[in-house]
Structures are given as C-alpha cells and as structure tokens.
Chain A
Amino acid sequence: MTTLTTPAPASPRAHRSHALADSVTMLRRTLLHIVRYPGLSIFVIGGPVVLLLLFVFVFGGALGAGLPGTGTVGARAAYLAYVMPGILLMTIAGTAGGTATTVSMDMTQGITARLRTMAISRGAVLAGHVLGNTIQAFIAVAFVLGVGVLIGFRPTAGPLQWLALAGLLAVIAFAISWLAVGMGIQSKTVETASNLPLLLTFLPFLGSGFAPTDSMPVWLQWFAQNQPFTPFIETVRGLLLGTPLGVNPVLALGWSALIALGGAVWSVAIYERKSVR
C-alpha cells in the first residue's frame, strides 16, 4: 500500500495574502445580513431614538433645570445638548447585541466549524463581523444624531472637530465590536449572546451620559469617573459642543485600544475551543 500525497498548496505567504480577501468576503456577508434584515438596524437605531425623545421631552425640562448654570428657562434645550453624547455612545453600545447574536448563531449553527475546516485565517472570519458592526454602528450613530438635530440639537463643531468625531466614534465602535464578538463566542446560547451586551448600554447611565458625575453619591462617582464611557462621552461632548476636553481624548483612545486588544485576544483564544460543539 502506498500513500497518496499532494503538494501542500497553502504556504504561509499565500495564506497571508488571502487573509485580506477573506476578510472582505466575510465583511460582505455581514453587510448583506444588514441589508437583508433591516429589522435589526431599525431596532439598533429605534432604541436610542426613543430614549432620546423620552429624556428630552418627558424628563428634559426637570433634569435640564438641575444642570450647573441653567435655570428653568431653556432647560429642555440645555438638557438635549447635555444628553446627546451619552445617547450616541449608547447607540454604539447597542449594536454589540446584534453582533454577539450573529456570532453566536454562527457558532451554534456550525458555520464557524465549517469555516474552520477550510483554509481561512480565523482572524478574517472574526474581522468580517467586527468591520461589519463598526460600519453598522457608524450609520446608526449618524441617524440618531440626525434625529437630535431635527429636534433642536445644535452642535458648534467645525470641520476639523467633525472629522475627529467621526474618527473617534469609528475607533470606539471597532473596540466595542471586538468585545461583542468575544461575548458571542463565549455565550453557550444565542439568548445569552443577545442579552450579555445589554450590560454595555447601562454604562452611559453610570457615567457622565445623563447627569454630571458630581451630582452622584461618592461611591458611584468613583466608578462613574473611572469607567471608559465617561471619557468617551466627554470627548464627544467636547468635539460637538466645545466643552473643555482635558485628558479625555487620550483616555478615550487608551480605553479603546485596551478594549479592542482585550476583545481580540479573548475572541481568538476561545474561538477554536468553542467552535466545536
């Protein structure tokens, strides 16, 4: 008996050159999902919009009066300006649920296992999800911001600030997407995967998104001032409205890098183990 041998077709170099093409293929798949199932996007945009309207028109009059330097006159407009950055960050956090859900569906339906039996880099498979979600988050944020402008939000940003804002939001969305991918891989069921990222949408509440952190009790203040969403929100606020930025941009980028790296390392580490069920 002899053993049949074929030349090894996949040298490491060939593999690397395919990684980019494979990422694009997987990204196209994610974008096709978004286009084909607008329901998810509507949910991702609708949630923050409802919250925005609720906070501005129901609570806005009362909450705005409590902001430093604001009286009862113009309170609602002042609160709209205050809450907008928090709502935008909440929009980004909200997209994580969709990504974690699709990733988890891929894992449970065996698609991930199928892809692993093909000569595709695992990075490409995950990158497709991450890039797709980053794009979706970006579009959602633009929509929500548009609604804000429609109801009277007036940003003071110049072209440079807008550009910086776009870059920052993309970076944050990219980081959160990696975290979402990790959550999707880790979750045993699709239900867990869709619920786990909801924790992220609470973080703007427990930061400077809806009320100044100085108005909170000391123990909560400590958390609020040291969690990633506060520098995210403060940087967005500074770029949109010209409030002092301080060290917030540096903190925001630092947190983004940390979350992206942590999420990516976590995802890749558990990907192989979790893809066989």
Chain B
Amino acid sequence: MTTAIEVRALRKSYGGTTVLDGVDLAVEAGTVTALLGPNGAGKTTTVHILSTLVRADSGTARVLGHDVVREADAVRAVIGLTGQFSAVDTLLTGEENLLLMARLRHLGARRSRARVAELLEQFELGDVARKPLSTYSGGLQRRLDLAMTLVATPRVIVLDEPTTGLDPRSRHAVWDIVRGLVRDGTTVLLTTQYLAEADELADQIALLDGGRIVASGTPDELKRRVPGGHIQLRFPTTGDLATAARMLDDSDRDDELLTLSVPSRGGVDSLRAVLDRLDGAGVEVEELSIHQPDLDDVFFALTGQKGTEG
C-alpha cells in the first residue's frame, strides 16, 4: 500500500477562530477518500492547504511525497483541484478554456489540441465546445471545470464539494467521472456534505467536525460504529403499546406517537419472532417499519448534528 496524501497534525486558525485543530489524514494511492463534514467543519481549508493555496499554521501535508510548502511547485505539477465554485473563464468558449489550461501545462501545440479533443469527447462537451460559457447550464460548467482540472492528467485530484448545487442527473454524471478516474489509477480526495455521495463513491471516509477528524474508516466500518438497527412498531391504542412494551425486552416506547422501538439486526427470523409473540398476546400492530443504520446515523451520533439529506 502506498500513501498518496499524508496529512499530520494540521492546524490553521483565522484571526482567533480555529478552523483546523490537528487534522491527520492518509489517502491510499488509487482510492477515493471522502472528507465528510457539515459546513464550517474545515473541509475547504484542508483542501486549500493540500493544493498549496493556503499555508497551515503548523503540521505537515505531503502529496506524493512532496511537502506542500517546501516543494509547492512539485505538488502543483501532480495535483488537480476543482474548487467549490466553477473556476472557468466565462468570456471564453469551452474549447478555449481547455486550450488555455493545456498551454499553461506546457503540453505543446499538437498534444494540447489532441488532449482537448479527447476531453471534449469524454465529457460529452463536443456539441457546446465552440459556444460561449454564458449558454452553459450549471451542470455543463461543472463538467467543463472538471475537464479543465484533468487536462494534464494529474495523479492526485482534489474535488471540493463537486456536486453541490447540481441536479440529480448531473450529480450522477460527476460520480461516473470520478469512478472512471479511479479505474485509471488516479487518487481522489473529495469533500462533501452529502452522506449518500460519500457512501456511493468513497473507499474511505474521514468525518471532519470542528476542525478535527472525529471518525474514519470504510463506509461499512463507520456504520457498525453506531447502535444497530431496530424495528419500529406503531399501535392503535395505549393499551396495546403498554402490553407490547412489557413483553419485549430493551424496547423503547414513545407514548405520544404510540410507537415502540425494538432492537433488531433486521433479520427475517427476529422480525417473525416479535410479530408471533405480539400475535399470541392478541396485540394489534398498526404499522411496522425496519430501520438499518445509515451514514446519517453515524453523522448524527458522531457530530451531534443532523446531516444534510443527499
């Protein structure tokens, strides 16, 4: 296993406000790591330090072995950043934007042209390549933005909230692009406040809250860290609820909603057992639902706040 991004004890504060409070992070080469956290958790600051835009107050960050401060140019040569807002030149066409990037990456005239043509096709931008950006939708601009990041085929790509503000279709298009990049061996670090996005794309998730990594692991590992699933039962009367609560151990009753929460791993057998016992006692169940822990629960349990639905 090789490490593509290595962050140690990163601290940064802006005028008395601590944004990063000792962040440690390691991203394996060729994998996707999601930096998940609510607004203001320090995601963008971490990304900015990694992409040489901002200097940390203390701690180190290395990209493919290069220190982001002492070897900034070496980092810039291997990294590609797509920021939170599309960094495109709205006065040029899509093709001109890509050519600008190719020239600044010193690809040479012929290779520039070939690479731009390749990207236009890969990102399905061929039809709009010669149109001014003012005619592009948000999703198109985002796609162009990503294509611009990839002109020099960087080996490490940092995506800061790549799908924020996109419609579901464009979001899926971006996800496909990210999967394609990883297939080709690129290392991806992405920040997101969408739990579904992290679940969908990431091999590893690092949960950032208040400038610290509060948990990290694979999506499944994180899900295992919160209390297991449960069956939720709703009864027509308080009497039924009381009877059921007496019968089922460890259950959690809510008198106002007339519901009872019963711990369960979600298997069919345990479900059947609960229903059989209630049936035997003549308790009527009005509604039943099964809850599996999801990242939302993880997020809530570990950061103490509700995550954004994604």
- A-side interface residues toward B, CB under 8 Å? 1-6, 8-10, 15, 18, 21-22, 25, 29, 32-33, 36-37, 105, 109-111, 113-120, 275-276
Task: Given A1-B3, A118-B104, A119-B77, check contact A113 B65 (CB 8 Å).
Answer: no
Q: List A contacts of B155 (CB < 8 A).
A: 6
A-B residue pairs in contact (CB < 8 Å), sample of 13: A3-B64, A3-B65, A5-B65, A8-B71, A10-B73, A10-B74, A10-B77, A25-B100, A25-B104, A36-B91, A109-B87, A117-B80, A276-B53
Contact digits for B1-31, partner A, Cβ 8 Å, 1 yes 0 no? 1111010000000000000000000100100
Contact present for A3 and B3 (CB under 8 Å): yes
Q: A3-B6, A32-B91, A114-B87 are in contact. List 12 more A-B contacts (CB 8 A).
A: A1-B26, A3-B3, A4-B65, A5-B65, A8-B71, A10-B76, A25-B104, A32-B96, A116-B52, A118-B105, A119-B73, A276-B53
Contact present for A1 and B2 (CB under 8 Å): yes
Contact present for B64 and A4 (CB under 8 Å): yes
Contact present for A37 and B77 (CB under 8 Å): no
Q: List B contacts of A116 (CB < 8 A).
A: 52-53
Contact present for B104 and A110 (CB under 8 Å): no
Question: Could you tell me the distance between the alpha carbons of A120 and B52 in the complex, rounded to whole angstroms?
Answer: 12
The answer, yes or no, to whether B90 is at the interface (CB within 8 Å) is: yes
* Residues in B80-103 with C-beta less than 8 Å from chain A: 80-81, 83-92, 96, 100, 103
Question: Could you tell me the distance between the alpha carbons of A120 and B26 in the complex, rounded to whole angstroms?
Answer: 28
Question: Could you tell me the distance between the alpha carbons of A105 and B89 in the complex, rounded to whole angstroms?
Answer: 9
Q: List A contacts of B90 (CB < 8 A).
A: 105, 109
The minimal Cβ–Cβ distance linking B253 to chain A, given in whole angstroms, is 49
Contact present for A8 and B88 (CB under 8 Å): no
Smallest Cβ-Cβ distance to A22: which chain B residue? B104
Question: Could you tell me the distance between the alpha carbons of A210 and B84 in the complex, rounded to whole angstroms?
Answer: 49
* Residues in B98-114 with C-beta less than 8 Å from chain A: 100, 103-106
How many B residues touch the partner, as a band?
Answer: 35 or more
The answer, yes or no, to whether B223 is at the interface (CB within 8 Å) is: no
The minimal Cβ–Cβ distance linking A41 to chain B, given in whole angstroms, is 13
Task: Given A1-B3, A2-B2, A119-B76, check contact A8 B48 (CB 8 Å).
Answer: no
Q: List B contacts of A111 (CB < 8 A).
A: 87-89
Residue from the list B1, B79, B91, B106 in contact with A117, Cβ < 8 A: B79
Question: Could you tell me the distance between the alpha carbons of A96 and B145 in the complex, rounded to whole angstroms?
Answer: 29
Q: List A contacts of B66 (CB < 8 A).
A: 5-6, 8
How many cross-chain pairs have Cβ atoms below 8 Å apart between A and B?
104
Contact present for B92 and A36 (CB under 8 Å): yes
Top 10 A-B pairs, shortest CB-CB distance: A5-B65, A110-B87, A114-B87, A10-B73, A8-B74, A119-B76, A25-B103, A4-B2, A117-B51, A117-B81
Question: Could you tell me the distance between the alpha carbons of A109 and B87 in the complex, rounded to whole angstroms?
Answer: 6
Question: Could you tell me the distance between the alpha carbons of A233 and B33 in the complex, rounded to whole angstroms?
Answer: 61
Contact present for B106 and A109 (CB under 8 Å): no
Contact present for B52 and A37 (CB under 8 Å): no
The answer, yes or no, to whether B78 is at the interface (CB within 8 Å) is: yes
The minimal Cβ–Cβ distance linking A40 to chain B, given in whole angstroms, is 10
Question: Could you tell me the distance between the alpha carbons of A44 and B92 in the complex, rounded to whole angstroms?
Answer: 21
Contact present for A15 and B73 (CB under 8 Å): yes
The answer, yes or no, to whether B247 is at the interface (CB within 8 Å) is: no
Q: List B contacts of A15 (CB < 8 A).
A: 73
Contact digits for B54-83, partner A, Cβ 8 Å, 1 yes 0 no? 100000001011100001011011111101
Question: Could you tell me the distance between the alpha carbons of A119 and B29 in the complex, rounded to whole angstroms?
Answer: 22
Contact present for B74 and A110 (CB under 8 Å): no
Question: Could you tell me the distance between the alpha carbons of A21 and B1 in the complex, rounded to whole angstroms?
Answer: 39
Contact present for A114 and B81 (CB under 8 Å): yes
Q: List A contacts of B96 (CB < 8 A).
A: 32
Question: Could you tell me the distance between the alpha carbons of A36 and B83 in the complex, rounded to whole angstroms?
Answer: 26
Smallest Cβ-Cβ distance to A275: which chain B residue? B53
Smallest Cβ-Cβ distance to B55: which chain A residue? A272
Contact present for B92 and A113 (CB under 8 Å): no
Q: List B contacts of A109 (CB < 8 A).
A: 85-90
Task: Given A109-B87, A114-B87, check contact A4 B77 (CB 8 Å).
Answer: no
Q: List B contacts of A117 (CB < 8 A).
A: 51-53, 76, 79-81
